RNA sequence: GGCCCUGUAGCUCAACUGAAUAGAGCACUUGACUACGGAUCAAGAGGUUUUAGGUUUGAAUCCUAACAGGGUCACCA
């Protein structure tokens, strides 16, 4: 990574280190500098309390002594001030020229992908095939996609995968209901999107099943008995048994209905702008892992109980006993996940695997990673669970049974409609072809949604209010997009640009503030990728845009007094536009040139 | 009940992982268009960071406890 701040920071830090040595005869570690708070003048701040304590001199005095030394010994330091023990360092013009030059790189902040090195795998989305995607999947997909983009930007090759939960009782429910009540309805015959069609029958099953249970309870049976005896549930279980036997009719129906769902998912993924390099299917992976269980038995990591089931005892690690193979020899969830993890490291040359999975599965992944370590896989410590929080509605959690679910397709459509209405009202798009307008409304509507979701720390749960919907003013996607469009307009108007002479330039504080913001881009990307935290980029771009808008509103660019000011400010605007576009790109958001 | 996570302005979120007077947006009040695009900018009001202790020169941040909310404790996935 090319971090422009590193040389300036490093130079100041080591100058402080030397000054401490020279003045007090003490060797300290290279000090960590922090950014000076906005209300004080200066760019970097060094806290002198620690040293003051060891040498027994008041912090302000220590600051004075070190600050004076810095002016002489460090070319990047122009001046300093001290407020209550905080030494605030003001940067010299040389530092600004240095930073300015570092920004003038074509793919600033983005490292070229090293194709020959091992890749990093990201698993996300991972839907069930019995119902369409909802708001929770949207957060998952946006996070997975964005994290992949960020990792790639650091120069790492990325392989994006999803595992599709295409087998089990849930899909049998949809299949059964379709057979009973469907009258041959298909996506073609009904014009319904395949995933919504299958979801409709999943709901139909649930409704009919409840009616059966209610009838059974009315005849005096307990809730438990009714659940077990309901004919529909028995039929569904029978269907699952036939599926596992490979019954031709059941398999054919299963394939057909899953294909409908995949087509539906594919359409939603395309709208969201996400994609995968490989799909894993549970119908294929659910047998994986049995060999690993055998291996674990040989290693003595697992043990077999009398009924034949296989377990691991994690109580010494503060966890519980966990089953890894059923008594009838079939897999549980853990078995598959063990096998699938192993398989992935065989399938690809990867040195890392990130699971984007909700925090309700924290315990599962803790156990999974621990077992893989105990099985002796060297890569086990390179597994990451990006545990994201649930998306709540204002009155609590989404509950599909109560119908309080925000559907992904509906949500995207609503966002597009809102963007269209707003754009029409503002009426800035005269002369734009209808097709371009429609594309722009998608860009803006989706931008609002994506930014709204990604600006929140992934690990935290968040609240989504469908009524108030997503705002288009303030700290929002369209606000950032607007700034980009305005910069694009500015550059169009400017035409041919003059070369910039940064050396000897008389910097305005508004300009250096933007330069300093821009200089933080590569570091922000690296940190966001390491922490798998797109919100860091979202918040960074917002801060940058606010700084630039302050400049834009208060300083004239095209009509600046001096020609060198015009040239520099235009170049600065261009760099801001580039970073906004690139940063939003990491979030899956497009920055338009006009809106 | 055991374990895990989270409590910050009326609402939605920040806070460089221990620093200065806890910051933004929405909503509310007010000001700025003979314009480089007002989806903007400038200002005001709004907080005992759930509570009580502790560690530290310094705590929203670390420790302990209480309270509140959520998750999880299946031979479901």
Interface ipTM: 0.95
Question: Does pLDDT of A437 surpass 80?
Answer: yes
A420 CB neighbours strand B below 7 A? no
The answer to whether A413 CB sits below 7 Å from nucleic acid chain B is no
Question: Is the pLDDT confidence value at A286 over 90?
Answer: no
- With a cut of 70, say whether residue A469 has pLDDT above it: no
Distance measured from the CA of protein residue A95 to the C1' of nucleotide B65, in angstroms: 51
How confident is the model at residue A90, as a pLDDT? 94
Enumerate residues 6+ apart whose C-beta is below 8 A from A561: none
Residue A61 confidence (pLDDT) above 80: yes
- Judged on CB neighbours under 10 Å (0-12, 13-18, 19+), A72 is exposed
Q: Chain B: nucleotides under 7 Å from a protein CB?
A: 4-7, 11-17, 19-21, 24-27, 36-42, 57, 70-77
Q: What is the mean pLDDT of residues A212-218?
A: 89
A473 touches strand B (CB under 7 A): yes
Rounded average pLDDT over A430-457: 95
Query: How far, in Å, is the CA of A465 from the C1' of nucleotide B27?
Result: 15
Which of A53, A60, A47, A56 is closest to A16 using CA atoms?
A47
Nearest nucleotide from residue A423 CA, by C1' atom: B39
pTM of the entire structure?
Answer: 0.95
Residue A467's pLDDT band (cuts 50, 70, 90): confident
Averaged over A445-457, what is the pLDDT?
96
Edge-first strand listing for the sheet containing A303-304: A303-304, A310-313, A321-325
Q: Which of residues 83-102 of A touch strand B (CB under 7 A)?
A: 83-86, 88
Q: Which of residues 334-363 of A touch strand B (CB under 7 A)?
A: 336, 359-363
Question: Which CA distances in Å does A552 have to A501, A547, A562?
Answer: 20, 9, 16
Looking at residue A36, what is its pLDDT?
Answer: 93
Sheet holding A158-164, edge to edge: A278-281, A158-164, A119-123, A350-358, A383-388
- Residues A462 and A71: their CA atoms lie apart, in Å, by 48
Checking if the pLDDT of A591 tops 80, the result is yes
Q: List the single protein residue with the shortest CA to C1' distance from B14.
A: A539
| C-alpha to C-alpha distance for A56 and A518, rounded to whole angstroms | 40
Sheet containing strand A86-91, strands side by side:
A34-35, A44-47, A86-91, A77-83
Cα–Cα distance, A57 to A181 (Å, whole number): 85
What are A102-117's pLDDT values in tens digits? 999 989 999 999 999 9
Cα–Cα dist A122/A133, whole Å: 19
Give strand letter and number of the nucleotide nearest A396 (CA to C1'): B70
Does residue A501 carry a pLDDT above 90? no
Q: Which of A248, A245, A257, A251 is nearest to A177 (CA)?
A: A257
Give the per-residue pLDDT at A84.
87
Whole-number distance in Å between A436 CA and B22 C1'? 44
Residue nearest to nucleotide B27 (CA to C1'): A468
Token pair of A308, please? Answer: 């034949």
CA of A460 to C1' of B8 (A): 14
Residues 157-196 of A with CB under 7 A from strand B: 165, 168-169
Residue A89 near residue A77, CB atoms below 8 Å: yes
Please, what is the average pLDDT of chain A?
93
Query: Residue A92: which H helix or E strand, with range?
Result: none
- CA-based nearest residue to A455, from A141, A133, A142, A122: A142
How long is the CA A360 to C1' B71 vector, in angstroms? 5
pLDDT at position A401 is 67
Our measurement of CA A462 to C1' B13, in angstroms, reads 9
pLDDT single digits (tens) A259-269 = 999 999 999 99
Please give the share of chain A, as a percent, with pLDDT higher than 90: 83
Residues 98-157 of A with CB under 7 A from strand B: 128
CA–C1' A99–B64 (A) = 47
A1 pLDDT above the threshold of 70: no
Distance A301 CA to B65 C1' (A): 38
Confidence grade of residue A497 (pLDDT, cut at 50, 70, 90)? confident
A17-76 residues near strand B (Cβ < 7 Å): 32, 34-37, 39-40, 45, 47, 49-50, 53
Highest-confidence segment of A32-41, A120-129, A311-320, A469-478: A120-129
Token output for A584: 């939003």
Minimum mean pLDDT among A164-168, A225-229, A292-296, A500-504: which range? Answer: A225-229
CA atoms of A550 and A560, how far apart (whole Å): 15
pLDDT in tens, A62-79: 999 999 999 999 999 999
Report the pLDDT averaged over residues A146-164. Answer: 97
- Asked if strand B comes closer than 7 Å to A303 Cβ, the answer is no
Determine whether A511 is exposed, middle or buried from the number of CB atoms within 10 Å of its CB (0-12, 13-18, 19+): buried
Closest nucleotide C1' to the C-alpha of A46: B19
Residues A517-521: what's their mean pLDDT?
96
Task: Give the nucleotide nearest to A554 (CA→C1').
Answer: B41
A419 CB less than 7 Å from any atom of strand B: yes
Query: Residue A385 in contact with residue A353, Cβ under 8 Å?
Result: no
**Which tokens is A410 given?**
């509906």
Gap between the Cα atoms of A64 and A78, Å rounded: 14
């Amino acid at each position: 990574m090319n971090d422009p701040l590193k040389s300036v920071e490093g130079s100041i830090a080591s100058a402080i280190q030397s000054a401490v040595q020279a003045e007090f005869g003490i060797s300290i570690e290279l000090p960590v500098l922090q950014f000076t708070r906005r209300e004080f003048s200066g760019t970097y701040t060094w806290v002198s309390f620690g040293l003051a304590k060891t040498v027994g001199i008041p912090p302000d005095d220590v600051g004075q002594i070190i600050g004076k030394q810095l002016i002489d010994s460090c070319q990047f330091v122009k001046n300093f001030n001290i407020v209550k023990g905080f030494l605030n360092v003001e940067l010299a013009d040389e530092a600004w020229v240095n930073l300015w030059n570092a920004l003038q790189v074509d793919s600033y902040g983005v490292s070229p992908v090293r194709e020959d090195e091992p890749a990093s795998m990201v698993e996300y989305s991972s839907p069930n095939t019995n119902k369409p995607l909802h708001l929770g999947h949207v957060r998952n997909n946006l996070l997975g996609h964005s994290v992949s983009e960020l990792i790639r930007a650091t120069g790492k090759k990325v392989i994006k995968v999803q595992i599709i939960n295409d087998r089990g009782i849930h899909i049998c429910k949809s299949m059964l209901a379709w057979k009973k009540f469907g009258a041959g309805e298909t996506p073609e015959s009904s014009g319904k999107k395949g995933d919504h069609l299958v979801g409709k029958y999943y709901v139909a099953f649930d409704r009919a099943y409840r009616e059966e249970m209610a009838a059974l309870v009315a005849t005096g049976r307990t809730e438990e008995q009714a659940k077990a005896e309901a004919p529909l549930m028995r039929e569904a279980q029978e269907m699952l048994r036939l599926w596992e036997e490979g019954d031709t009719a059941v398999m054919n129906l299963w394939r057909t209905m899953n294909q409908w769902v995949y087509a539906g998912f594919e359409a939603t993924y395309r709208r969201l702008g996400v994609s995968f390099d490989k799909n894993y299917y549970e119908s294929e992976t659910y047998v994986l892992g049995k060999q690993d269980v055998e291996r674990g038995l040989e290693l003595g990591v697992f043990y077999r109980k009398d009924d034949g089931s296989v377990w691991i005892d994690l109580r010494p690690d503060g966890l519980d006993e966990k089953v890894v193979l059923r008594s009838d020899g079939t897999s549980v969830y853990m078995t598959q996940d063990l096998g699938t993890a192993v398989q992935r490291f065989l399938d690809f040359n990867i040195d890392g695997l990130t699971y984007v999975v909700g925090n309700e599965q924290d315990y599962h992944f803790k156990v999974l990673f621990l077992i893989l370590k105990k099985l002796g896989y060297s890569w086990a410590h390179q597994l990451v669970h990006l545990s994201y929080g649930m998306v709540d509605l204002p009155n609590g959690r989404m509950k599909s049974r109560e119908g309080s679910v925000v559907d992904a397709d509906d949500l995207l459509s609503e966002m597009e409609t809102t963007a269209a209405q707003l754009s029409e009202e503002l009426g800035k798009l005269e002369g734009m072809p209808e097709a371009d307008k429609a594309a722009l409304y998608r860009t803006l509507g989706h931008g609002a949604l994506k930014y709204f979701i990604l600006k929140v720390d992934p690990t935290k749960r968040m609240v989504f209010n469908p009524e108030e919907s997503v705002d288009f003013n303030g700290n929002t996607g369209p606000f950032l997009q607007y700034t980009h469009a305005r910069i694009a307009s500015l550059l169009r108007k400017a035409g041919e640009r003059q070369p910039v002479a940064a050396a000897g330039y008389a910097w305005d504080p508004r300009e250096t503030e933007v330069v300093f913001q821009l200089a933080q881009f590569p570091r922000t990307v690296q940190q966001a990728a390491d922490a798998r935290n797109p919100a860091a980029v979202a918040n960074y771009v917002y801060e940058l845009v606010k700084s630039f808008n302050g400049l834009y509103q208060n300083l004239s660019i095209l009509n600046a007094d001096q020609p060198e000011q015009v040239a520099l400010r235009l170049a600065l605007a261009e760099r801001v536009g580039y970073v906004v576009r690139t940063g939003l790109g990491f979030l899956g958001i497009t920055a338009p040139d006009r809106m």
